[in-house]
Amino acid sequence: MASFATHLVVVVVTILFAAMASAEMLQDVCVADLSNAVKVNGYTCKDSTQITPEDFYFKGLANIAATNTSTGSVVTGANVEKLPGLNTLGLSMSRIDYAPNGLNPPHVHPRASEIIFVLEGQLYVGFVTTAGKLIAKNLNKGDVFTFPKGLIHFQKNIANSPASVLAAFDSQLPGTQSLVASLFGALPDDILAKSFQLKHKQVKKIKLRYAPKK
């Protein structure tokens, strides 16, 4: 049985190529100063004399996360907010764990393309083009699939056993926008009712599940 480390190497090699295509660096590193409230299209750099190995280290992807959520999936991100050394490097990773029949609901990453490697299980995954075409496929352990930047995509565990994937992104902070939560958590009732051809009481019922972010 291939080790977790072997699986990780496959994904890391892939994202190295994405890093080569990023903007030319003007210094060795720019470790994110997460304590600085001032941002200029990203985090400012920490004083180079204050950086430590911990700025480049994160062990949160090794363990299976609890999947007892409403959708049966949990995303553990290793982005610049968790791993400050990623700042300006144009890459990050995530681990996604799925309960049996769990779903990572339709969402978009506005700042990155994504590639996933199936660690365990069977998944049905796909994305939707701007022409409205669904590009979808069943995946098994060891398979790889790519989601283009900014397009709606999803993953669903189609087995009665847990599943996990590693995901890599060509951004240190890809951003994630859940379609249902964003729409029903932010838009006015009349906009939603007309857009989805729903009655206002139906809209209100759905919105109760998605409190707007402050």
Separation between Cα atoms, residue 94 and residue 83, nearest integer Å = 12
Residue 183 has φ and ψ, to the nearest 5°, of: -70, -50
The span from the CA of 166 to the CA of 61, in Å, is 8
Report in angstroms the alpha-carbon separations of 24 from 20, 21, 69, 129, 177: 9, 9, 41, 31, 29
Residue numbers belonging to the annotated binding site: 104, 107, 109, 114, 153
Annotated binding site for Mn(2+): 107, 109, 114, 153
The answer to whether 118 and 161 are in contact (CB under 8 A) is no
Q: Give the separation between CA 147 and CA 140, rounded to whole angstroms.
A: 17
Strand (E) or helix (H) holding 138: strand 134-139
Residues contributing to the annotated binding site for oxalate: 104, 109, 114
Q: Residue 201 is encoded by which pair of tokens? A: 């009481």
**Which element (helix H / strand E) includes 172?**
none
Residue that the structure tokens 């480390």 belong to: 5
The answer to whether the CB of 164 falls within 8 A of the CB of 156 is no
Nearest alpha carbon to residue 141 among 123, 126, 158: 123
